[in-house]
Each structure stands twice: as C-alpha cells, then as structure tokens.
Amino acid sequence: MKDWTTAAAELYDGGFRPMFIDGKWVEAQTGETFDARNPADGTLLATVPKGSKADIDAAVKAARTAFEGPWANWTPFERQNLLLKIAEKFESEWERLCLSDTLDMGMPIQRTLGNSRRVLGMLRFYAGQAVSIHGQTIGNSFPGEIYSQTVREPIGVVGAIIPWNAPIAGSIWKIAPAIATGCTVVLKPSEEASLTVLMIARIMQECGLPDGVLNIVTGYGVDAGAALAEHPGVDKIVFTGSTATGQAIARAATGNLKHVSLELGGKSPVIVCRDADIEKAVPVAAMAVFANSGQICIAGSRLFVAREIHDEFTRRVADYAANLRIGHGIQEGTDIGPIISARQAERIEGYLSVGPNEGAEILTGGNRVAGDDFAGGHFFHPTVFGGVTDEMTIAREEIFGPVISAMPFDTLDEVVERANATPYGLAAGIFSTHLGTAHKLAHRLKAGSVWVNMYHAIDPAVPFGGMKMSGYGREGGLQHVEEYLDTKAIWINA
C-alpha cells in the first residue's frame, strides 16, 4: 500500500495560491483571501484569492480579447494537438492531481485515481471532436445560382461554474469542449474546492494554452459566481450544481439572453426487480449512494425493492454498508471519506433526525463517526433507512450524503409511477435479469441516464444530463460540442 502522507505534506503547505487571469497568476483586486482546508481534519492547505466582480470583469475582458485574438486563427488541428498534449501531461501528473483532489475535497484516493480513464478519455474525445466540426451546403428555393451554406462558429466567451464534488472531471468537461470549438472560458470553481482546478490551469499553461483562453477566478458563489452569471460580456453559462442555484443562474442570465446549460441535482431511483441477481445488485445498489460519501448528483438514493425480496435485499445492503471502511481519503482502502463542510454535515444530520421522526427505521448507521481519528472532519456512518414512504422528507429531498431510503413495491406500473414522482430526472438504476422488463422500465423512466444491472457509468462519448428540474443541455456525446457552437447561414449569389 502506498503511503501518501509525505507527498501530501509537500503538495500544500498552507501558503498562498494565486488565481489565473490572462495567463498571469494574480491576487484578488481587493487583496482578500479565503482558506482552503482539508475536510478530513480541518488543516489549512492553502489560502486562495477571494475573487469578486472586479476580478470577473478582468477575466471576461481577457477571455474576450483572447477570443478575438490569434486564438481565433488556430486551426482545428492545432486545437486538437493542444488537447492531446494536455491529455499526455495529465497522464504523467495524474497522481499529483488526484492527491490534490483528495486533500481538497476528501474523495478517497482510490476513487480519484480510478477516474483517469474517464478524464483522459474526455480530453482525447474532444480532441477528436475539434476536427469533426462542419457545416452544410443546403439546397434552397431560389431560382438561379444562389447558394446557401452553414458554418459553425464558436459561441464566444463561456462562463463555467462548477461544484466541489468532482473538480477534475467537472472542470475538464467544461474546458475541453471549449478548446475543441475555439471558445474561451472564465471558470469559477467552488469555494469548497479550488486547488486542483488551479493546478489544472497551470498544466494547461505549460502545454501552451494561449493567455486568456482559460481564466480561473476563485471565490464565493454569491459574489464571483453571481457576477459571472449576469455578466453582459459572457455569451454562454455552463453550470453544474444545485437546482436552486441553477434557477438563480438562469434568471441572472436573462439580462443579455446568454445561452445556459444546467447540470443540476437529483433524487434518483434504483429499482430492484424480483428477478434481480441479488449477489451482484447489493454492492452496486449500495455504492450507487455511498461512493464519495453520497456527495454525487446521480446518487441512487431511493431504493425501490420488489416486496418478495425487499427484507433480504435491504438487510444485505445494510450489512454491506456497515462493513465499508470510513477514513481519510489518503488512506488507501478507505471507502467513505469526509463530508465537505460543517454546513453540509449539519444538513445531513437534519435528515438523519427527520427520518425517524417521520417514522423511518434506521437499518444501519444514522449518526456521525466518533473518535480521535475523525476529529476536525465530518464523517458519517453510511445509513440505510427502512420503512420509508414516498411522502417522507428523506424520500423527496436531495440529501447529498450517505443515506439510502429503501421502499418495497408490488408491480412494475406502480414503481414506474412512484420513481417518476419527483421534480428531478437525472438518473435511474434497474436491476433485473429479464431483458424485456429492464428494457420496458428503462423507456418509461424519466431520467437523463438509466443504467441496467450497473450504476455510475459516465463516458465522454455518451450524453449525460438531466430532465425536468435536473437541468437541460448535455455533456458528453456528439451533441456536447453543439452547445459551444453557433450556426451562421451564408448566402452567395454567384
């Protein structure tokens, strides 16, 4: 087993880490900073600039100048080469990036390391996309030699706002399509996890990314985030985060009618049919929530189990949960790391008390982890609630913590109706050994991604995103670059 402690101490020493505007590493114009702390033990990793409106203005200006400068003349092949070079550098720096992520937001290092296929795949997938963008020649109704064609142009300056729960993949999924299409970016990472995003900007700069093409403004949502969302110099906002913030961003974006894509929250159902392979389904259904301590947008937090197997299945999920190893993310073998912040931990604690108050039964967990090893952080035992009904708060609201609400069902029609009875529509899971059943359910569920006999699969080549109040727009897949492009029709009278 690798000991990450020394490398961790060398990576962050509590010093100042500047943000990145117009190719320069700068302080906030106010000179203010805020602390980046390790959520596992509260130690100070670094201080970062507390960017605000003035810094966003400077970053948007730099992004506009870059958009209209030499970057506009880069050929698709040059942009492709840049993305491939970044992918190569990511590969060689992957351990450092993952360690930074684990220290900054707590995700167990095994899990971050395991994301390399997806993240490197993203960079290489969009490198391929860069040289595949094309318009059309279109026949028209005009007599004579009047020709019409379309060209695809980069949409312009993209404002990207991301949450803290997956900084590497979250930022690359915003930046890579921008580079592929020739856009420029102002990215505001979450105030809870800025450090790895700054490291990513440094890697990209070292790979030859021109000044101003990517700008990172660290800071708070209500301040730097809001300034970016309403900025008249931004052509498009790509946002990942909570539904409430997504609504605020969509409202702020109306000022200059900027385009908006939103990847928001969820309350995803996992349906275990009576013919499911229980052995295989138990760990997957458990980790559909407990991965990253439940701090995942796609968490399959409503577990619907066919009544015939409900008691056995939920008991086995509870046993599985009780055996997960809780600890600091840099300890290899940790399954469940810390919760990101005191505020988030208090929210989870609220749900852990409201559940039993409304009549749910705790099958396992239900409380914080005590002990000296966990002092300074916020750790929870993975929790499985039984006896849950659809009306209970824990079955309706996104908890964003390690909590499963298990419920029995009797018929497929009934479970489809109950699974869809949520404002969200991000993801769903189905466990069945009967292909016909799985197929029918998959088609009837209102969710952007449906996994059968698996969960969590996300791939750069496959569209990902939400329906209903889980947002609109897609990341991944061929249609993703479309969201960074505009179409121009050109008419020629020959």
Q: Residue length, the chain?
A: 494
Out of 8, 130, 229, 336, which residue is the one contacting ligand NAD (CB under 6 A)? Answer: 229
Instruction: Name the residue nearer to ligand NAD (CB basis): 101 or 191.
Output: 191
E runs forming strands in 162-210 = 184-188
CA dihedral 387, 393, 397, 399 (to 10 degrees): -70
Q: How far is the CB of 193 from ligand NAD (least distance, A)?
A: 8
Out of 179, 195, 209, 226, which residue is the one contacting ligand NAD (CB under 6 A)? Answer: 226
Please, is 266 exposed, middle or buried when counting C-beta atoms within 10 Å of its C-beta (0-12, 13-18, 19+)?
Answer: buried
- Catalytic residue, chosen from 192, 263, 475, 483, is 263
**165 lies in the binding site for ligand NAD (CB under 6 A):** yes
Instruction: Name the residue nearer to ligand NAD (CB basis): 240 or 437.
Output: 240
Of 402-441, which residues contact ligand NAD (CB under 6 A)? Answer: 426
Q: Give catalytic status of residue 91 as yes or no.
A: no
Q: How far is the CB of 420 from ligand NAD (least distance, A)?
A: 18
Q: Say how many residues touch ligand NAD, by CB under 6 A.
A: 29
Instruction: Name the residue nearer to ligand NAD (CB basis): 85 or 267.
Output: 267
* Residue in 249, 251, 264 with CA at minimum distance from that of residue 297: 264
Non-local CB neighbours of 105 within 8 Å, separated by 6+ positions: 39, 164, 165, 167, 192, 193, 340
Give the span between the Cα atoms of 262 and 475, in whole angstroms: 10
**297 lies in the binding site for ligand NAD (CB under 6 A):** yes
Give the span between the Cα atoms of 299 and 17, in whole angstroms: 32
**115 lies in the binding site for ligand NAD (CB under 6 A):** no
Q: Identify which range of 31-39, 86-94, 110-118, 225-233 contacts ligand NAD by CB under 6 A.
A: 225-233
Other Cβ atoms within 10 Å of 128 Cβ, number: 14
Out of 55, 104, 398, 483, which residue is the one contacting ligand NAD (CB under 6 A)? Answer: 398
Strand partners of residue 364? 384
| 8 A C-beta contact, residue 261 and residue 483 | yes
Q: How far is the CB of 455 from ligand NAD (least distance, A)?
A: 15
Q: Which residue has the tokens 């301040």?
A: 223
**55 lies in the binding site for ligand NAD (CB under 6 A):** no
Q: Which residue has the tokens 């999924």?
A: 173
Out of 45, 161, 198, 305, which residue is the one contacting ligand NAD (CB under 6 A)? Answer: 161
**466 lies in the binding site for ligand NAD (CB under 6 A):** yes
Residue closest to ligand NAD when measured from CB atoms:
221
| 8 A C-beta contact, residue 164 and residue 120 | no
Token pair of 412 as six digits? 């497929």
Give the span between the Cα atoms of 379 and 467, in whole angstroms: 32
Q: How far is the CB of 28 from ligand NAD (least distance, A)?
A: 15
| 8 A C-beta contact, residue 406 and residue 314 | yes
Out of 400, 451, 455, 484, which residue is the one contacting ligand NAD (CB under 6 A)? Answer: 400
Mind telling me the catalytic residues? 263
Binding site for ligand NAD (CB under 6 A): 161-165, 188, 190-191, 220-222, 225-226, 229, 240-242, 245, 248-249, 263-266, 297, 398, 400, 426, 466
